[in-house]
Structure 1
Amino acid sequence: MDIAERIASLATKIEQQKAAIETEEATKNAFIMPFIAHVLGYDVFNPDEVVPEFTADIGTKKGEKIDYAIVKDGEVQILIEAKPVGAPLTLNHASQLFRYFAVANARIAILTNGQRYHFFTDLDRPNRMDDTPFLQLDLLELDESLIPEVQKLTKETFDVDSVVSAAEELKYIGALKRALAAQFRDADDEWIKNLTGRVYEGSFTQKVREQFRGLVAKAMQQFLADQVNDRIKAALGGKVYATAGSTDLTAEAPVEASLDAAEPGSDRGLETTLEEIEAFQIVRAIACSEVPPVRIVQRDTKSYMGVLLDDNNRKPIARLHFNRGQKYLGLFDESKAETRHPIESLDQIYDHADHLRKTVHYYE
């Protein structure tokens, strides 16, 4: 089992047990020790590898303990401070990490609540832990691009120098991605003004601001859809589908049409993710062998994204339950009864291609 599979297994456990965990000690036993043991590969019962309740006197501070110290080649390399699952991870919760970081000569400090992991080093000042983590990992909303960086901290391939050398880039790329994600969710006035100034030559009045607020949101949604479509087209060899009429239609147009209805403010409680759009495109790529792709549309709700034939709720093809850590693909039988199938990656949707094609014919 590789590290991605080990992380996915632990994420499933967190999803299933999180509600029952109420204390820090329970969080350590249920989630943090398995992360150290099964994800990072250290023996939590060997004090030469993992030291629980690690103690180092610091000035007038005597007998303070930090939850775990990971030892490699006889030296403390990683310090871990634990908090209860669901607790916020702020600098106020990292005071012991700050104090121990220099004394223990560790290069990596981790603040975690079992689900989320914040990784720190000393980019700003040597031997002083930074105020900002260089890497943030959420096991229930995993950014798979970060897995290779976690791999470098495992017992098998421990390479702290490589992690530290890449930390600055990781820190700023992560911050930029979060900033971009925030703008895609709800663009602020400065972002709207900046983009508007690149395409509009008139004065940026309040009326123009409100006009372009909707246009910017719509353009960003369609931009995401275009990126997904490019990936789908590449996977399908650039295939172009024909609609029932005389007009040739590439994969882009139906997505743009479906997004036209998603005017900002019409569904304030909804957040359509890139992953949902990509999954919808996969379902449509499968089902369009049976009907023209323009007939296959998505309709998002607060709990799932529905894939419908003819934009008709009475003709469900599939449901994408992606709003929790474990993703499910909902499939229907002839009586429209839904069965949920757990999936770990979007590629697994192709495993159900025959069922999806058969479902389309229920309504034909």
Structure 2
Amino acid sequence: MDFIDQIKVLAAKIPSLSMNIKTEEATKNALVLPLLNILGYNVFDPTEVVPEFTTDYGTKKGEKVDYAIFRDGKPVILIECKNIDADLDIVHASQLFRYFTVSDAKIGILTNGIIYRFFTDIDAPNKMDEKAFLEINLLDIKEPLINELKRFQKESFNIDDLASVACDLKYTKEIKLILANEINNPSEEFVKFFAKKVKDGVFTQSVRDKFTIITKNALNQFINDRINDRLKFAMTDTVSSTSNTNDNIEKPQTETENVVQDEIVTTDKELECYYIVKSILREDIDIKRITIRDKKNYCGILLDDNNRRPICRLYFNTKNKYLGLFVDNKNEEKVSIVDLNDIYNYADKLKTTISNYENNNKI
């Protein structure tokens, strides 16, 4: 299982685990330490991951930060943990601020086990910034940010590279926030910029009021158009993959089958699961060989668009959702899934199915 899949498996467990996490210690044990383990750090080695790390600050003695990750005998990352229910207000980072100044660490992490905020010293040397340069929410996983998290893996961690990357991430994050605010509530300066581009004349109050609405609508339409273009591209890629198959693999559909197929609608959830399966298997096989074929009672995900090579089946037409798996002797095993991310829990079985097909085993 690759890094992103491991992160998604951990994230999928959070809703059920959170019901039993009542303390900061439980948050550390159930969520924070497993993430450090995924990042490649040995949480049982006190020379690598130091719990309750103490650094005296001025007259303050014996204060502790929850974890320090060491390299070459020096702390490189400080981690302050809060209870899973805690809001990560900047006040909660006070110990990080103090320790950052007097230690060799260049990365500070504030977390409640779900949200991870990463800090460094972009604004002033040896003084931790008040704004995080990276924020990861495991309940709202954005793959590009997960790729940034890879930089903190033990095997790839490089503080010199992170210095420039952190700067780019911080300013990118702040510009995105500005854009989000302008889209939701365009400022006068923002509206005036566009109005001057398309309309001559004085920028009066009435023009401002009119173009505030026009600008907001135009931005939302532009975003929706881009999303639709991406979806069309994804669907075209899917159709193309389905059509580029070997005629000897399957008999062509009869006219009756085509009529039935026209009555079937592939839902967004089925498509999302299709993309999840492609994501899981992308390192094992050319994802263009993974196709989707919807039926009346289930939606099939196939290898080479061949019904004799089912990867899995999606049973989403009933109240309870099921995933059909194929591992041995073509016997189908149905497992219940509550959330689409549950599919990541069966990544190994999906990979085994592909491996068996590729090795020409009869399953």
Question: How far is the alpha carbon of 1:43 from its aligned partner?
Answer: 1.5
> What is the aligned partner in structure 1 of residue 10 from structure 2?
10
SS at match of 2:44: coil
Shift of 1:51: 0.6
TM superposition shift of 1:338: 7.4
- The equivalent residue for 1:303 is none
Question: Identity of counterpart residues, as a percentage?
Answer: 46
User: Within 5 A, what are the aligned runs for 1:145-184?
Assistant: 145-184=144-183
| Distance in structure 1 (CA, Å) of the matches to 2:50 and 2:215 | 52
Displacement of 1:170 after TM fit? 0.8
AA at the equivalent of 1:2? D
How far does residue 23 in structure 1 lie from its aligned partner after superposition?
2.5
Q: Which one has the largest radius of gyration?
A: 2
Per-residue deviation, residues 56-84 of structure 1 (Å, max 9, x unmatched): 22221110100000112322110001111
Give unmatched runs, 5+ long, in structure 1. Answer: 240-288, 299-328, 346-364
Distance 1:190 1:135, change over 3 A: same
Structure 1 residue 188 displacement after superposition: 4.3
Alpha-carbon contact 2:118-2:133 (below 8 Å) kept: yes
Distance in 2, matches of 1:23 and 1:183, equals 39
Instruction: Tell me the secondary structure at the aligned position of residue 77 of structure 2.
Output: strand
Alignment-derived partner of residue 262 in structure 2: 290
Output the CA distance in 2 between the equivalents of 1:218 and 1:17: 41
The worse-fitting range, judged by mean Cα deviation, of 54-63 and 216-225 is 216-225
| Matches for 1:263-282 after TM superposition, within 5 Å | none
Q: Is the 8 A contact 1:152 1:162 kept in 2?
A: no
Q: Cα deviations across residues 87-108 of structure 1 (Å, max 9, x unaligned)?
A: 2223211111111113220111
Alignment deviations for residues 165-196 of structure 1 (CA, whole Å, 9 cap, x no partner): 21111100011112222333444454334333
Is this contact kept in 1: 2:12–2:341, CA < 8 A?
no
1:100 aligns to 2:77 (yes or no): no
* Equivalent-residue separation in structure 1 for 2:23 and 2:193 (angstroms): 46
Displacement of 1:144: 1.7
After superposition, the Cα gap between the structure-2 partners of 1:237 and 1:167, relative to the gap in structure 1 and judged at 3 Å, is: same
Asked if the contact 1:151–1:157 (Cα under 8 Å) also holds between the matched residues in 2, the reply is yes
Are the equivalent residues in 1 in contact too, given 2:77–2:106 (CA < 8 A)? Answer: yes
Q: For residue 58 of structure 1, what is the aligned residue in structure 2?
A: 57
CA deviation digits over 1:250-304, x for unaligned, max 9?
xxxxxxxxxxxxxxxxxxxxxxxxxxxxxxxxxxxxxxx838x9xx999xxxxxx
| Alignment: residue pair count | 266
Change (3 A) 1:331 1:109: same
Q: Please show how residues 226-265 of structure 1 align to structure 2 within 5 Å.
A: 226-235=225-234
Change (3 A) 1:177 1:19: farther
Which residue of 1 is the match for residue 244 of structure 2? none
Counterparts in 2 of 1:106 and 1:162: CA distance versus 1, 3 Å: same
Paired residue for 1:23? 23
SS at match of 2:116: strand
TM (norm. structure 1) is 0.63
> 2:310 aligned with 1:343, yes or no?
no
CA contact (8 A) 2:136 2:146 kept: no
Change (3 A) 1:344 1:226: farther
Q: What is the deviation of 1:37?
A: 1.6
Distance 1:53 1:27 in 2: 15
Q: CA RMSD in A?
A: 3.5
The answer on whether the counterparts of 2:78 and 2:107 sit within 8 Å (CA) in structure 1 is yes
**Aligned partners of 1:187, 1:331: CA distance in 2, in Å?**
41
What are the equivalent positions in structure 2 for 1:44-55 lying under 5 Å apart? 44-55=43-54
Q: What residue in structure 2 maps to residue 282 of structure 1?
A: none
- For each residue in 1:118-168, what CA deviation from the matched residue of structure 2 results, as whole angstroms up to 9, or x when unmatched? 111112222221222111111112232122321111112222221122111
